Amino acid sequence: MSSSISSRAPSFTAVVSLVFAVSGFSYNAWRLEQSEENNIVRDASFQVLTELSEFEQVIYANHYDLNDVEGSPRLGWVKIGLVGDLSMLIGEDAAASAAKLKASWSDDWSSVRDSRAVVDKLVLEVDAVRQSVRMQLQDLD
């Protein structure tokens, strides 16, 4: 009986070693994938935050400075388009907030120069996108 147990020990050791090797490899592969996803979300988030600041500057330049170059609605469209595209990489909440901001910009861009209420509304929506991006960054693993 003693020889039966000792003859099975190398097989058992090999199976346990294989299980540990496979589980270790699986965890490592999952962790690398998760890290890459987190890096994509971080990079997109930082770019979105930058573009939102620049978009806000376009709004202010148009309304307060009456500057047709720095406050050009075309520049605003480019910024808001990029925010919408990148927000899809961040998460559903950020994408939804960015879509709402884009819809408001679409409806109100021509009134930015003359209406403080429109400026305030757009700035609040910019802040909502910022907040959803920040929340996503805090939730990263």
pLDDT on residue 14:
77
Q: What is the mean pLDDT of each run of 10 residues along the chain (141 residues)?
A: 60 78 80 86 96 97 96 96 96 96 97 96 98 94 67
Is residue 84 within 8 Å of 115, Cβ to Cβ?
A: no
pLDDT on residue 74:
96
Domain-wise residue ranges, the chain: 42-138
Count Cβ neighbours within 10 Å for each residue of 64-99 and write b for 16 or more, e otherwise: eeeeeeebebebbbebbebbbebbebbbebbbebbe
Q: Half-sphere exposure (CA, 13 Å, Cβ side) for 127?
A: 6
From the candidate CATH numbers 1.10.3470, 1.10.10, 1.20.120, 1.10.3110, the one assigned to the domain spanning 42-138: 1.20.120
